[in-house]
Amino acid sequence: MKLKRIFTAILAGTMALSMAACGGNTDSTTGSADGEAAKPEKLVVWTLAEDLKDFAAHYTEKTGIDVEVNVIAPADYPTKLNTSLGSQSDEVDIIVGEPQMLPDFFDAGYFADLSEFDSAAQEKLVPYIYEAGKDSNGTLRALSYQVTAGSVIYRLDLAEEVFGTSDPEEIGKLFSSYDAILDTAAKLKEKGYCIFGDTGALRWFANANTPWVKDGKLQVTEDSLGYFDTAVELYQKEYVAFAPEWSAAWYASMAGELPVNAGWTALEDIEEGTPTTQIFSYIMPSWGAVTIRDNAQDNIGNFGVCEGISSFFGGGTFIGVNEYSKNKEAAKDFVEFCTLNEETSEWWIDESNGDIVSMKSVLEANKDYENPAFGNQKTYEFFMKQAENIDYSLITRYDTEIGNAFGTAIVAVQNGEKDKETALKEFYTTVKATYPEIEVPEA
């Protein structure tokens, strides 16, 4: 896509580096005769996201510094980081984390102080990105080049057919509460459509106004119980297609019809003549819009984005510097290049073909871009507003495990294996066993 570009100067020149402790080839860290520090031979990155390969190549092109990027599976990443940095290794210079990982990594002392970028980050980046990158003492230690604000993504044609409008504000009202969602699902079912692929789509709204843990206590609120009850009703009344996120049928639904109750079955293994349906909506962070765009096929352009029950975000790559790196200043320059440079941010919009960047000025510059994959809706403007509404205080280090345990309780009730009271008691027991320091209603 062709977008207006904003150019700023890229930091160049040599970078001050630590002197090599002893022995070996010291060309990368030894100062020149006039006292000027030389560039490192190479920077090493450990990341969860393939994105940083593109950033590294762009950085090398601009600076001449080689950057080796190692992509590590999310399930393996915490163990690898803890093993290496727990022994204060300098084998990696630049490290990353997703928001729920960061507090533990910060407490362990792995991420170096980035306070020199504090003012620039606060001024230039979407607020929740700045907040997420600070440790419990308020010290900045990580930054991100992207925002992952959430939305409800819906089919324009089905909206017109069932509700008589595809206007984002009007469709947003259909997802403004759990009662509204159930009413919307019932109307879709009458026409032969399903509101979601499966009930897991609702999980993003589980804590719309209160964090899972506050003041050391587990919070099971009206929001979370509303999620629980609505998920069960959607499932038991067959308002969803029983196509879990990331399943073959779920991906296929973005292009049109999908088999009902396919589960995780490969499409080629589904019996011919199996009834089909169509999915009306998906609840996902902004990267979900890219997923749908890339799988919509002939359905491209037939989607819109709107608000749901609450603003939310999911995932995101936050970049920092290994506290024990010998190339700390050069590594900081890489972080700054990726996250606080307007030219890089504009480049990433084009390079990624749709990622939502974290720099407010670049989002503002592109707010009038009409996205052809989403009915020419101004999606950058939409996600910019959603990102500004995110309340980062709702996010805790406990969210992933507690959310998974809550989902397990819901599934048990959906399947008729347990009643709600029993499932919730087991949920409390699981939370207490996993996090003994948390006070729970029952254990």
Tens digits of per-residue pLDDT, 105-115? Answer: 999 999 999 99
The residues, any chain, with a CB within 8 Å of residue 339's CB and separated by 6 or more, are 121, 125, 143, 144, 145, 319, 358
Does 217 score more than 80 pLDDT?
A: yes
Percent with pLDDT over 90 in the chain:
85
Q: Decide: 236 and 251 in contact? Cβ < 8 Å.
A: no
Q: Decide: 314 and 150 in contact? Cβ < 8 Å.
A: yes
Section 307-320 average pLDDT: 94
Structure tokens that stand for 33 in this block:
């005769």
Please, which pLDDT band fits residue 443 given cuts at 50, 70 and 90? low
User: What DSSP letter does each residue of 32-79 carry, written as one string?
Assistant: -TTSPPPPPSEEEEEES-THHHHHHHHHHHHH--EEEEEE--TTTHHH
Q: Decide: 398 and 406 in contact? Cβ < 8 Å.
A: no
Q: Assign 406 to helix, strand or coil.
A: helix
CB neighbours (10 Å) of residue 397?
Answer: 17
DSSP state of 439: B
Q: What is the pTM of this model?
A: 0.86
Condensed to tens digits (0 to 9), the pLDDT of residues 120-177 reads 999 999 999 999 999 999 999 999 999 999 999 999 999 999 999 999 999 999 999 9
Question: Residues 161-196, buried b or exposed e (16+ Cβ, 10 A)?
Answer: ebbeebebeebbebbebbeebbebbeebbeeebbbb
Does 8 score more than 80 pLDDT?
A: no
Percent with pLDDT over 70 in the chain:
91
CA distances from 33 to 19, 38, 327 (A): 14, 10, 20
Q: 150-310+393-434: which CATH topology?
A: D-Maltodextrin-Binding Protein; domain 2 (3.40.190)
Q: Decide: 247 and 253 in contact? Cβ < 8 Å.
A: no
Q: Assign 103 to helix, strand or coil.
A: helix
Does 34 score more than 70 pLDDT?
A: no
What is the identity of the amino acid at 421? E
Find the length of the chain: 443
Q: Tell me: domain 42-148+314-390, CATH 3.40.190.10, correct?
A: yes
Please, which pLDDT band fits residue 207 given cuts at 50, 70 and 90? confident
Beta bridge partners of 218: 213
- Angle, helices 51-63 vs 328-339, to 10°: value is 110
Domains 42-148+314-390 and 150-310+393-434 belong to one CATH topology: yes
- Looking up tokens 């022994």, which residue turns up? 87
CA distance 267 to 200: 21
Condensed to tens digits (0 to 9), the pLDDT of residues 255-307 reads 999 999 999 999 999 998 999 999 999 999 999 999 999 999 999 999 999 99
What is the identity of the amino acid at 178? Y
CA distance 357 to 313: 13
- Angle, helices 178-190 vs 156-163, to 10°: value is 80
Structure tokens that stand for 370 in this block:
């009409």
Condensed to tens digits (0 to 9), the pLDDT of residues 334-383 reads 999 999 999 999 999 999 988 999 999 999 999 999 999 999 999 999 99
Q: Give residue 354's pLDDT.
A: 85
Does 423 score more than 50 pLDDT?
A: yes
Q: Give residue 100's pLDDT.
A: 87
Q: Decide: 427 and 440 in contact? Cβ < 8 Å.
A: no
CA distance 53 to 405: 34
Question: Residues 69-90, buried b or exposed e (16+ Cβ, 10 A)?
Answer: beebeeeebeeebeebbeeeeb
Q: Decide: 252 and 349 in contact? Cβ < 8 Å.
A: no
Please, which pLDDT band fits residue 38 given cuts at 50, 70 and 90? low
What's the count of helices (H) and strands (E) in the chain, helices before strands?
Answer: 17, 12
Averaged pLDDT score across all residues of the chain: 90
What are the boundaries of each domain within the chain? 42-148+314-390, 150-310+393-434
